[in-house]
Chains A and B, each alone.
Chain A
């Protein structure tokens, strides 16, 4: 696994914007990297595929464990939503996707799960579309990618279609983020291609009529994909209505994903699968015997409020607004490093199937919203 450079395409901005990719650059710094890529082997692809499949099964076991033993307090999940979570789990409410983030120790050729973005993962559009067109532009059919994200999304929506409630699936995100809107519209695009009737509604336009959630035409919302975190939804004014809703709208991702998207799951996984080669040691509330570790807030997003401790000394920390909810202490992982920066691997699971990857690169050993997206090629 190594970085390879290409001759820069002076028209790359036009090329990616024609695909509908508008957030390729932030503050004059490219987020999308066009002129270098990760060259990876078939063996690494196999390793990521198998790790993703295995971890997904372990995560499902962990959700079942948390629900069975009612360990919600470890996740700081409000009481009123517990029953909703249990019902969504028992009824197998549709889930479409998630993204595991892996550290790759090149020396020992070992993947380690850093976390699971189970509720609101993005970079889906650049993974499934922009990265694919980038491959076509530079390599055509001569090279391959671990990237069937697009096919798998359409396939998964087709499989979920009979289980969707009502005859229209709403898609929702916040108004202020082009990245979120693009990701949601991409998901909606694939749902339409799967034959599903859809409608976009921004999160703050969702209405409550005293009985049900409604769209802007005052029609009941029966099923809705939301790119908006569960922990935000349940703590907002309408949160309590999720359990009052007589329509019992189907929320995608389902509420049981609150368990997987919370970093407390890292501690649960370590309790259930101690010393598993794909896991990093993770403890609640204290680092225990670890001298080098990462301290992560349970609900932190985009690498906020993360502290790196090496041999008992804090060597790096990020700012943010999280931490009141408690922390998880995770063993320090060995990140893959190149001259261009530190990288992690995002591995997509869509409709129960590992189907694609992306690389995110940072100047520091923590992935944030500023981390660069690096395409890849199997060769």
Chain B
């Protein structure tokens, strides 16, 4: 039984959103193109996310792949959204309650090896 193939393979989560993510583009290719700025709170300053946009967009337009990458998440308690794809100053602005909620836990304590080496996390 297990030595045969599956009778059907249906996916409910993965779609072309993943396939449409492309490789990084060089700076030269990006020159003169549309610039994209985002923020996650109306009291926060905008951050230039053009590079992420160009890396993650699918064809023309913003595309769901980019939104996937930015991954805005609801903080609950009426505090709106946050995204770790943005710089912190563009997430909370002057919203103290939101800053407290976002910063309550410390983050970034995992993942440093992947950033500091050329090795892949998978094998």
**Contacts from A to B (Cβ < 8 Å):** 16-22, 45-46, 49, 117, 119-122, 125, 128-129, 132-133, 135, 144-152, 173-183, 185-186, 188-189, 192-193, 200, 202-209, 214, 216-218, 227-229, 232-233, 235-239, 241, 261, 301-302, 304, 320-321, 353-355, 369
Contact = CB atoms under 8 A, between A and B. Distances in A.
B6 A132 contact: yes
B5 interface: yes
Given A129-B11, A188-B13, A354-B2, A203 B110 contact: yes
Contact of A189 (B13, B75, B82, B110): B13
B111 A49 contact: no
Interface in B96-123: 101, 104-115, 117-123
A306 to B, nearest CB: 13
B34 interface: no
Contacts of A239: 110
A133 B3 contact: no
B13 to A, nearest CB: 4
A183 B122 CA distance: 10
Most buried by A among B1, B18, B82, B115: B18
B122 A216 contact: no
Contact-size category for B: 35 or more
A174 B114 contact: yes
Given A22-B21, A180-B120, 17 more contacts: A18-B19, A22-B22, A49-B2, A129-B11, A132-B5, A177-B120, A180-B121, A185-B13, A206-B110, A207-B106, A209-B105, A216-B84, A228-B121, A232-B121, A236-B113, A301-B123, A320-B119
Contacts of B17: 20
Closest 6 CB pairs of A and B: A207-B105, A238-B109, A204-B111, A122-B122, A17-B19, A22-B19
Contacts of B9: 128-129, 132-133, 150
Contacts of B13: 185, 188-189, 192
Given A144-B4, A185-B18, A188-B13, A120 B82 contact: no
Interface string B61-104: 00000000101011110000010100000000000000001001
Contacts of A238: 109-110
